């Protein structure tokens, strides 16, 4: 299904079984958050202030480290960083993508959740912003929301489709 993000200023192709988190809880104006109905997998699309590193690899590492900090991750590891070029005839920047993992403690649980992180960074050259897409994929969790190896492969395909299809329609969003 085609998702309209930020009132249609951005579009992307996503699975049809997503729940808009803003229907359940308050979500900041700079975020769009979606939850999978059959697991604890989430998608966050965030408009952030551009970070200092100009090198794309360092910039996405910065965002990954920032997420680990926000999650109070007890460990983190980056598995890969690649660029997915935008070969369409539009002005959406190419995506810098990262695959990694974090151990994230939850509430009062003694065992942290093991979470696969799939992240994409779109740097809009004319604007001082970083557009960041994050898929959080629990692979070990005490709350029962984790996905198995086959589920991870499915989420990886959804992430790839989402990232390749993301299109910035209205750059005035980043005014």
Residue 108 burial class via C-beta count within 10 angstroms: exposed 0-12, middle 13-18, buried 19 and up: exposed
Structural domain for 75, as ranges: 17-147
**Prediction pTM value:** 0.94
Contact 107, 138 (CB under 8 A): no
Q: Classify residue 50: in a domain, yes or no.
A: yes
**pLDDT, tens digit only, all 175 positions of the chain:** 899 999 999 999 999 989 999 999 999 999 999 999 888 999 999 999 999 888 999 999 999 999 999 988 999 999 999 999 999 889 999 999 999 999 988 776 678 889 999 999 999 888 899 999 999 999 998 777 889 999 999 999 999 999 999 999 999 999 7
Q: Any idea what the CATH number is for the domain that residue 59 is in? A: 3.40.1000.10
Closest among 47, 36, 42, 44 to 9, alpha carbons compared: 47
pLDDT of residue 120: 98
Does residue 11 lie within any of the structural domains? no
Question: What's the structural domain count of the chain?
Answer: 1
With residues binned 3-state (H G I as helix, E B as strand, rest as coil), the percentages for the chain, rounded to 5, are 20, 40, 35
Does a structural domain hold residue 85? yes
């Amino acid at each position: 299904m085609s998702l309209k993000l930020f009132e249609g200023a951005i579009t992307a192709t996503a699975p049809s079984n997503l729940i808009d988190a803003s229907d359940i809880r308050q979500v900041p104006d700079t975020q769009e958050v979606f939850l999978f109905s059959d697991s604890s997998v989430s998608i966050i699309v965030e408009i952030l202030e551009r970070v200092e590193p100009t090198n794309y690899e360092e910039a996405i590492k910065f965002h990954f480290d920032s997420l680990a900090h926000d999650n109070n991750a007890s460990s983190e590891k980056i598995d890969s960083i690649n660029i997915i070029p935008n070969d369409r005839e539009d002005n959406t920047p190419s995506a810098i993508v990262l695959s990694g993992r974090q151990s994230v403690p939850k509430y009062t649980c003694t065992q942290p959740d093991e979470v696969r992180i799939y992240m994409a960074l779109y740097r809009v050259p004319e604007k001082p912003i970083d557009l960041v897409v994050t898929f959080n994929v629990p692979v070990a969790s005490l709350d029962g929301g984790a996905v198995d190896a086959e589920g991870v492969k499915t989420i990886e395909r959804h992430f790839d489709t989402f990232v390749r299809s993301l299109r910035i329609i209205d750059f005035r969003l980043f005014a």
